[in-house]
């Protein structure tokens, strides 16, 4: 309905929130003038890039700033943070962990933070995902970009040209009832006991098990994960592919978060590379039998 109205009035951007106003969804026009939905990772990348650049222009970055995200969100956020010499702290899923970072690191300035599930927080005055300030920020970004002859979509392309084209997909498998719980536990146990050596022909570089708080690298060297224990597994390959899996805490589902990426140096290759990464994600889904 909102997209229909957006097309009727020729809107540059369409924004919607959930009833309690903590998550926001954004539709923007692509290079062909079509309204398309951005996913939570893409929205977060645009907002984080803008905030970091704004702090940088205002000479407020001195190495004592950080942004917050989650272990299942896009690795692109860390790339953006590193570019601006801003620390990127990762927490477990659940926005309380991002808000807690502000309390845990009072000596650092919090710029903003978000998660792949459409939650974002600007500054430290709300300390929870907040669609109200995030909507205002998104409108500010869209207005400034339009003034410069750009769009949020072209800005996203610019970010990818700078840091790499990242594409993510969430796959949720529903397993209802008592047997469903057993099935979910069996899937998690199978990946723990028999982890893949490769994903789409790329060797596993690191395996992180947040239930045992251990990260194991390619040489079987184990290190401690300094986060609370959680039933989450993450596999990261040499080419930067990341697959995370965890049971949902609120629904009878097991969730798989897939992230792939590739360098891009020419906007003309953008659509073809997007298709290539989409095909890669589909191969991974089939290979890991998570469809």
Looking at residue 291, its pLDDT comes to 75
Q: Is 235 exposed, middle or buried (0-12, 13-18, 19+ CB in 10 A)?
A: buried
Which residues lie across from 27 on neighbouring strands? 14, 37
Give the total residue count for the chain: 291
Stated as kind and residue range, the H or E segment containing 247 is strand 242-247
Q: How many domains does the chain fold into?
A: 2
Q: Are residues 67 and 32 in the same domain?
A: yes
Angle between helices 152-163 and 76-83 (to 10 degrees): 80
Strand, coil or helix: 151: coil
Q: What is the pLDDT of residues 225-270, one digit of tens each?
A: 999 999 999 999 999 999 999 999 888 999 999 999 999 999 899 9
pTM, rounded to two decimals = 0.96
Residues 70 and 108 in one domain: yes
Domain boundary pick from 163, 178, 211: 163
CATH number of the domain bearing residue 53: 3.40.120.10
Q: Are residues 158 and 40 in the same domain?
A: yes
120 three-class SS: strand
- Select from 127, 147, 163 the last residue of a domain: 163
Dihedral of CA atoms 45, 46, 49, 53 in degrees, nearest 10, equals -170
Which parts of the chain sit beneath pLDDT 70?
none
- Same domain, yes or no: 156 and 254: no
Given 131, 163, 195, the domain boundary residue is 163
Is 267 found in the same domain as 155? no
- Whether residue 119 is found in the same domain as residue 200: no
Both 183 and 219 in one domain: the answer is yes
Query: Quick one: 269 and 170 in the same domain?
Result: yes
What is the structure's pLDDT at 249? 81
| Same domain membership, residue 134 and residue 51 | yes
Q: Let me know whether 183 and 267 are in one domain.
A: yes
CATH number at residue 234: 3.30.310
For residues 154 and 21, membership in a common domain is answered with yes
- pLDDT for 278 equals 98
Q: Which of 110, 40, 128 is nearest to 76 (CA)?
A: 40
pLDDT of residue 39: 97
For 159-196, letters b (16+ CB in 10 Å) and e give bbbebebbbbbebebebeeeeeeebbeebbeebeeeeb
Domain that holds residue 105: 2-163
CA angle, residues 151, 152, 154, in degrees to nearest 5 = 65
Verify that 134 and 20 share a domain, yes or no: yes
């Amino acid at each position: 309905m909102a997209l229909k109205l957006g097309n009727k009035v020729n809107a540059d951007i369409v924004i919607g929130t959930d009833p309690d106003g903590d998550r926001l969804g954004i539709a923007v026009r692509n290079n062909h003038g079509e309204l398309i939905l951005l996913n939570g990772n893409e929205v977060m990348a645009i907002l984080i890039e803008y905030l970091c650049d704004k702090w940088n222009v205002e000479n407020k970055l001195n190495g004592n700033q950080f942004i917050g995200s989650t272990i299942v969100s896009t690795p692109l956020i860390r790339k953006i943070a590193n570019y601006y010499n801003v620390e990127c702290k990762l927490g477990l899923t659940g926005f309380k962990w991002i808000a807690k970072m502000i309390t845990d690191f009072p000596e650092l300035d919090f710029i903003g933070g978000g998660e792949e599930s459409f939650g974002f927080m600007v500054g430290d005055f709300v300390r929870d995902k907040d669609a109200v300030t995030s909507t205002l920020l998104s409108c500010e970004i869209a207005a400034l970009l339009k003034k410069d002859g750009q769009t949020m979509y072209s800005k996203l392309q610019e970010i990818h040209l700078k840091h790499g084209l990242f594409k993510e997909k969430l796959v949720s498998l529903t397993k209802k009832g008592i047997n469903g719980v057993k099935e979910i536990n069996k899937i998690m146990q199978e990946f723990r006991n028999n982890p893949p050596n490769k994903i789409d022909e790329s060797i596993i570089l690191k395996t992180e098990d947040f239930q045992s708080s251990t990260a194991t690298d390619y040489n079987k060297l184990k290190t401690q994960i300094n986060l609370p224990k959680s039933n989450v597994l993450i596999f990261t390959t040499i080419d930067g592919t990341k697959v995370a899996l965890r049971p949902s805490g609120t629904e009878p589902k097991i969730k798989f978060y897939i992230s792939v990426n590739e360098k891009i140096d020419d906007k003309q290759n953008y659509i073809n590379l997007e298709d290539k990464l989409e095909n890669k994600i589909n191969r991974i889904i089939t290979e890991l039998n998570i469809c």
